[in-house]
Structure 1
C-alpha cells in the first residue's frame, strides 16, 4: 500500500478526540510537510538549476496535475503575473478535467492517460519549456500521459510525488520525492502532502524568478501593480530600497509606469527614467548590474 494511503498509526481514535487535541493533530502533522521538503532540497535545487537556462531562453513553466495537486499548480501559475510581472502565456496550468475541475471534482479525469498526453501536446511544448508534474500517489495516469508527451517533445520534466519509487518521480528528468507518509485522515492528500507540494512549487518558481533578476536584495521589484494595495507596495519598496522620500519615489514611479526596478535605478544613479531603463536592459534586467554600470 502507498504510504499516502496507509492509515495513520498515530491517530486511530481521531474521531473521539476532544476539539483541542483534534486541532493539534492536524496542525502538528503539517510539520512533517516541511521536513519532507527539507529532505528533498538537493533535488529541488537540481530542478531549479536545470530550469533556469531554459526559462531564460524563452521557455514556459507548465504545471500538470489532478485534484489537489492540479489546483496547486493553477494557484502557483496565476500568482506569477502580479508577483513578478511574469507573462501569463508563459505560465500554463493543465488540470485533469479542465477548468471546471478547479471548482468541482471531475470524477475519473485523473485516470485518463491519453487525455493527459493530448492536453500537454495541445500546449505545443518546446525544448525550452519546464514541465512540473504533480501527483501525490506518484502514479496518476493523466500526469504520466503528460510526462511522457513532454519528454518526447524535449521539454525538461520535473516529477513531484509523495511516495518513493513512483513513476512520476522516477521517469522525469528530475524527480522530487516528498516522503510525507500517512495522513491524519487516511488518504486525504489535501493535507500535508498538498502542503509539501505547495512549498516546493513556491520554492521552484520563486527561485527561478530570483535568478531572472526579478528580485533585488530580498525585494519584489518586478511586481505588476493591479490594485490599490500593490500600487502602495511599489511606493514602499522604492522608498525602502533607495531611501528617497515618499513624494520623490511616487513621482519617479508615475513617470516609469510604476516599474519599481526602473525607479530604483533612476533614483540611486540620479539619472532620467529613459537612461535607467537603458541601463537595466543592458544589464539583462539586473538592478545590481545596472547600478554598477
Structure 2
C-alpha cells in the first residue's frame, strides 16, 4: 500500500483532529444546548477551511523537503481535489439533514448535539471504509472499474431523480425502530435515552441521530470511491475526507437557511459523479491529470451554483 504517510505525518494529523475536537467539545461548548447563529457558522467554516488549506501547505512543505518538489506538488493537489470533492458531495448531506430535522421537529438548539455525534461516528466509519477500500485496491486492481461504474450509474440516477424527496413517513428503518424500541413522543433536553416507569425509552433525538449516521454511510459509499479516483494513497484519501467532515457541521448551519437557493446544485453534483466515474473507468487507458480534474470539478460546481442563483433571480422577478 503506497503512501506518503509516515509515522510523523499520521501523528501530526491525529493531533490536529484531536485538538480541534477537544476545542469544540470543551471550549466552544459542543455538548451544550446552543442555537448556532449564521455568524458563528461563518466563522467556524472559515476556520475549518483555513486549517485544511494550512494542512495542505504544511504537507507540501514537508514533502518538498523530504521527497522532492514533484511529489509535493502532486500530493498537495490530490489533497485539495479530494477535499473539494468531499465538500461538494457533502452538500447533499446538508439537504438530507434539513429534511430529517424538519421531520422530527428537532429544535435548533439541539441540532448541534445530533451533528456532533454524527460527525464523530462518521470519522470512525469513514476511517474503516477508507483503509478497507485501499486494501481492496492493492489486492484487486479491477475493483477500480467497479467503483467507476458504480459512480457513473449513481451520478445518472442522482441527475434523473434530483427533484425527488425521500418519503421519511414510510421509511422502513424508522418504522422498524419504532416497532422494536420504546420511543417517547416528546424531547427530554439533550438526552438520547430516558427512563420512564422503570423502562428505557429512546427520544426523537436518537431517531434523528440514527438517520444522520445512516445518511452519512450512504453518501460515504459515493464520496470515498470518488476520492480514490483522484489518488489511492490512503493518507491523502483519509486526511482530505476527515478535514471535509470536520467542517460539515459548520457548513450545515451556514447553508441551512439558504439551501433552497441552490436548487440546481444536485444536478451539478450528479455531473461531478459521472465525470469521476468516467475518469476511473479510463484509468488504465488514459490518466486524466489531477489538476485538470480539479478545474473541471470546480467549474461544474461553480456553474451549478451560478445557475441556481440566476434561476432564483428570474423567479423573483416574475
- The verdict on a shared fold, with TM-score over 0.5 as the criterion, is no
Highest CA radius of gyration, 1 or 2?
A: 1
Structure number with higher strand proportion = 1
